[in-house]
Amino acid sequence: MQYLTLIITLPITVFAVLLVLSNSAAVTLHLLPDDDVFALTLPLWQIALGLLGGGFFLGALFVWLLHQKARFRFWQESRKAARLEKELEKLHAEETARKDRDAAASAAQAAPAQITAQG
């Protein structure tokens, strides 16, 4: 898995470094054509790396939103499983208590029968 990470990140890192070294000229960005009010002047490498970073975070947001339904379903199922485990423990406790009562009742019935047989 680490090799796969290196295979993917190493070319991207080399590309980013070469981009920074070769594009240091200032570029002016305008929000609207022929609009100097909302203009921003930055080096080209800052714009390119900003767009790459923005694309990365936007993609991560889409993946997170895509898997949100599965995470919610997992949360529901884990709550359901916890509830069923509690119910199962309760039923086991009731069954054990019932068996103990039945054993005590049968022992109580057997004790008078032994006394009359001896007497």
The tokens describing 94, both together, are: 């009731």
Section 45-52 average pLDDT: 86
CA distance 62 to 89: 41
* pLDDT of 117 strictly over 60: no
Q: Residue 115: its pLDDT value, please?
A: 61
Q: What does the longest C-alpha to C-alpha distance in the chain come to?
A: 118
Residue 10 has pLDDT above 80, yes or no: yes
- Comparing CA positions, the residue from 76, 80, 24, 75 lying closest to residue 48 is 24
pLDDT above 70 for 83: yes
Give pLDDT, residue 108: 81
For 9-94, strand residue ranges (E) read: 26-30, 39-43
Strands 26-30 and 39-43: what pairing?
A: antiparallel
Residue 104, classed as helix, strand or coil, is: helix
Residue 65 pLDDT more than 60?
Answer: yes
- At residue 9, the pLDDT reads 87
